[in-house]
Structure 1
Amino acid sequence: MTQIVIVGAGPTGATLALLLAKRGIAVTLIEAARDFHRVFRGEALMPSGLDALEQMGLSALLEDIPHRQLDAWEFIFGEKQFFRVDEPMGADRPCTLLPQPPLLKALISQAQTNDGFEFIQGVPVKDLRWNNQRVAGVVLSDGREFAADLVIGADGRSSLVRQRIGLELVRQPKNVDILWFKLAASPKFATDNVFRTILNSDRAFSIFHGAESGKLHLAWVMSANENTDTKQANWAEIFASLSPSWLAEHFRNRADSIESPIRLSVVVGYCPQWYAPGVLLLGDAAHPMSPVRAQGINLALRDVIVAANHLVPLFHKKARHEEIDMALRQIQAEREPEIIRSQQLQLKEAKQGELLRKNPLLRSLLIQLAPLLGKIIQKSWLNRQYQMRQGIIQVRLTV
């Protein structure tokens, strides 16, 4: 019998599969997509995520993948700098941008060197198998069935595993979507890769140089009452009209490089219960995160470490199903405080951004009083970032 089936080969599923396989546990990893090139994948590894990968013994693997560090974070109100904070903000390493497709390929290639690991790609899970009211495996769309002592749903915010076992996802009220653009890079970002957030009038966007060579990434915040015709809009001129002069010039000069935007529907939520007999949810399947400060992949990697700590000893000793199911409760209990606190911090930052967008008087006062208020607000922002970047609790791999 396959001991563990993991549904979803994103960062959560791939890293957990590798950890388990390296420790001699039989794992089948199933991915519905035929390749890893989705339209959007988060690529920001905070110090907490980099630390998690280092604990897993994967730092050398990262060196073989093209990556790019961030140099600073900057907020521009109107056309003036409000404040800037340089990396690594007291950590021992800066935020690093890493493309997910080559990372996932490398993780799975390494897992495939272990006996007992099987990877199935391009065939989605259709349903779950049951035995005496306990999940006992999965059924694929091509009719194949895989038995398992444990099924792990790492299949994202729209998790089919979560839906099949009827676990509730409590969603935060939705107030924004994101339009995601790519365009030609400016030399200024090559020498000083700053994540810039620009607020001008009631419009806001963030821009930075991603891990992909020669490409800027731009996230345009869309409010619930947005009426911009996204297909017909002159985006180069819109961005330029809101930007400092040097960046406005770049938008106008490279207007032809602006790719059609991808609309990202922001889903933020939390499962009050991550488990049922024979099944566990991890990562976005259990707690889809806001895009604020790129927490999703970093928290998911920490989920993996805690799950491995609990599961490896049990599977080594061929524990009874009752013991495995008891450990699932413990995994959630250990991860829950950090997830809840991170979502609270993200929500606080998102609400502050919305308040600035909607309140012209407040924006005007902040711009006028920037020399006085900038340092105070910067300190408040930094205090929030320390927790989100470095982790709220200590997570250590012990197996």
Structure 2
Amino acid sequence: MKLAEASWQTQRGMAELLRALSANDGETRYVGGCVRDTLLGLPVSDIDLATRLQPENVMSRLKKAGIKAVPTGIDHGTVTAMLPEGHVEITTLRRDVSTDGRRATIAYTDDWKEDAARRDFTINALSADPQSLEVHDYFGGEEDLEARRVRFIGDPLIRIAEDHLRILRFFRFHARFGAGEMDRASLEACTARANDLMALSRERIADEMLRLLQLPDPAPTVSLMIGCDIFRPVLPEIQNAEALAALVKAEEQAGIAGDPLRRLAALLPADAELAASVATRLRLSNKAVKRIASAAARSAADPDDPEVLAYMIGAEEAVDRLLLGGSAEAAASLSGWNRPRLSVGGGDLIAMGLTPGSIVARTLQAAEREWIARGFPADEEEQRAIARAHVDQVLRDSQ
């Protein structure tokens, strides 16, 4: 099989890069996702090269060719070439010397098959010659691509023992590329070793989860993961995927892009404190924790008017709550919404006759509530009239 010609192969600087790395002599190949996605007819976002050349040699050759090189992971054999249209990662062929489920000790090799054997899935172990575009497949990846089957290379238990994150990656890759039933041996191995996820940092788990939830429709895969108790060791709060499935449908109806944080909130109980605890445990940013907690705080007491809700809690969080509540049309109505501004402030109320103190804040809040109830009139004279009426009422009550 040959790789189809694609624009990423002819981007500016690629020919010079391949020449510097002796691709003509078989020293360097395209590898991984760029090969897989091109074979599937999908857009390519990341370009990776594998090479027999040692990292220091790669750095030296790129410098000589006038190509900026960054030693992004040189201790593990990776150098990044900065081309005009994007970066390309170049990794020296490797084999694992030892692994502990989180990181590996590697040694360099010049054996393409040995390097391919350390990868996770057959569809990720494909490589292609940049000159002939001939695809090299050592483990049946082409057949698995055709069948839309995600399958570990060799013994799934060994692959998982090398890197426990591959459990979550298996489900994410199935959600993205798979069709039909999952590979039985791979699924059974992930189910049997789910407890291994406890050894991973919560940051790695969160990153993989959000990547899964970013996909067009992760609900069927997440439902299967729940049925296999994959989440139980690290995210026991995730009990079912019904709310996620409903959310995906609502997002589609509203024409709003799926959002991984919103979808994570859908998997958690509608309990703001609990949701914030889970988000914090996953080491998400303070902003993400706040957003997930807000989504979990949705209730029947939320205003019916989407603009009022957006004014109270912010447009992004309002859209989250509306979609999670199944109000696709209301969520869509907030597209392009800008928060209105009440131009009257505390100083204006004092100028109208109020005495400085807590009464000013209370009166301003009452005026704001009426302004909201009237539909946020933008006319400043109308806003001042609302404020004037509330000030007059306070002054009358104080006599």
Larger Rg belongs to: 2
Structure whose residues are more often helix by fraction: 2
TM-score by length of 2: 0.21
Structure whose residues are more often strand by fraction: 1
TM-score by length of 1: 0.21
Greater RCO (Cα-Cα under 8 Å, separation 6 or more): 1
